[in-house]
Amino acid sequence: MQSISAYLRLFRIEHALLLAVAVLLGLLLSGALPALPLLLCSLAVPVFIEMGSFALNDYFDVKTDKANKRHDRPIASGEISPRAAFAAAAACYLIGIAAALPLPSSALYITLLFAILSVAYNFKLKEFPLVGNMYIAASMAIPFLFGNLVVAPNIFPHIWAIALVAFVAGLGREIIKSTEDMEGDVKHRNARTLPVVVGRKNALFFSAFLYALLIPLSLMPFAFGLRANILSLGLVALTALSFAAMAYMSARALEKDNDILIALRKTSLLALGVGLAGYMASLL
């Protein structure tokens, strides 16, 4: 059981499941579900590509994670060996790409592109200001477009709007994470992440701006054709309020207050999940 728990943490299984929900939402809001075999393949692609990416991330970041005292990282804590993590990452990538083969060509191309980008990100892209952050944000937005393209050749406006919300939320969250990990990133990877270039406080102000921007953006899908009801509007309004609170907390975060940054990072994922539930409720 301890080994299973370690691998679930290595794969960040909660992120994988959230991406699968995002693909399912993209399918449903595009008006159709594919046949069961294609549906299972559609859901498996983001899950396994994400699992492979996070396992590879921990493989490359073991020294940084130790420096940042990330005891929740199973390679840094010694629960999983680097070799085992690398093998797991390779297996996940292969399964994810294989699952995309029966899907429409546009979905397959997205899979291949993001698999390649995830490797590039883990190897080098994450060391550059904003570039790595934007890749992660894009990986949080693409499942909605991916799900749409599995069942329709063109992307609907409300799907674009939801993807934009996910992108901005992901970018804000990743800047928070870069700020949180700045010390270890500089020491062990000589990384030039955004907080290293512009300073910790300026990076936090930028994340606050992004969270504030999400207050109106979270309601934008309804303006682009997403059907609204009391439940969907209520959940999305709750998400907007959460983003407002996170904007305030990010702007007021102290220079060395990593506890607030950890709370912000975790809360942002929860807020996005509530927002997705709100968009899903539009189907009722």
CB neighbours of 208 closer than 8 A, spacing ≥ 6? 246, 247, 248, 250, 251
Q: pLDDT tens, 97-109?
A: 999 999 999 999 9
- pLDDT tops 90 at residue 124: no
Q: pLDDT tens, 143-165?
A: 999 999 999 999 999 999 999 99
Question: What total number of domains does the chain contain?
Answer: 1
The rounded distance, in Å, linking the Cα atoms of 185 and 26 is 35
Average pLDDT over residues 49-65: 90
Residue 154 φ/ψ region, left for φ over 0, alpha for ψ in the -120 to 50 degree band, beta for the rest: beta
Q: Which domain holds residue 277?
A: 156-284
What percentage of the chain reaches a pLDDT higher than 70? 94
The rounded distance, in Å, linking the Cα atoms of 193 and 175 is 9
Question: What is the torsion angle, in degrees rounded to the nearest 10, for the CA atoms of residue 88, residue 93, residue 96 and residue 99?
Answer: -110
The rounded distance, in Å, linking the Cα atoms of 29 and 91 is 31
Band (141; pLDDT cuts 50, 70, 90): very high
Does 227 map to a domain?
Answer: yes
Q: Side chain identity at 169, as an amino acid letter?
A: A
Residue with tokens 């940084």: 64
The rounded distance, in Å, linking the Cα atoms of 162 and 154 is 15
Q: Side chain identity at 82, as an amino acid letter?
A: P
Average pLDDT, the chain: 89
Does 106 map to a domain?
Answer: no
